[in-house]
Amino acid sequence: MAVSIRFRRGGRRNRPFFRIVVADSRSPRDGKFIETLGYYDPLPDPEIVKVKEDRMVYWLAQGAIPTKNLKSILRRQGLWAKLVKMAEEEKLKAKSKAQQTEQKTAEPQAEAEVATEQGGNDDRPEDVH
């Protein structure tokens, strides 16, 4: 499932208000979504952007792709570089944690293989003459 981070339009006619949501890329603009990450109000003079940074970082680390317009607005607010840096750190943490658990599971398997090699074929029944 391809996941994107995008706007969901609200408000009334000539008074737009956008929620920043995580949604399946195949769903319609104002359709079903997974999670709300914040909002964007373009009408006040300094436009208002509020984002749950921790959740945005989580979804970026999971591979969610932001739309061009969202990325542009986050850059103007100075948030994009910070979010990308935090997402990269999150990916590295997850990768190192996965490697540690892989090493822990590999050690008992290696010990079991060594034990079977040293023991020979003890499972075979002996010939009785």
State the pLDDT at residue 119.
61
State the pLDDT at residue 94.
81
State the pLDDT at residue 93.
84
State the pLDDT at residue 4.
94
The chain-wide mean pLDDT, for the chain, equals 85
Q: Does the structure show a pLDDT above 60 at 121? A: no
**SS3 letters across the chain:** CCEEEEEEEEEECCEEEEEEEEEECCCCCCCCCCEEEEEEECCCCCCEEEECHHHHHHHHHCCCEECHHHHHHHHHHCCHHHHHHHHHHHHHHHHHHHHHHHHHHHHHHHHHHHHHHHHCCCCCCCCCC
Reported confidence tier of residue 126, pLDDT bands at 50, 70, 90: low
Percent of the chain residues past pLDDT 90, beyond the cut: 45
Q: Does the structure show a pLDDT above 90 at 52? A: yes
State the pLDDT at residue 31.
87
What is the per-residue pLDDT across 77-97, written as a single tens digit (0 to 9) for each?
898 888 888 888 888 888 888
Q: Does the structure show a pLDDT above 90 at 22? A: yes
Looking at domain 3-84, its CATH architecture is 2-Layer Sandwich (3.30)
Whole-model pTM? 0.69
Q: Does the structure show a pLDDT above 70 at 59? A: yes
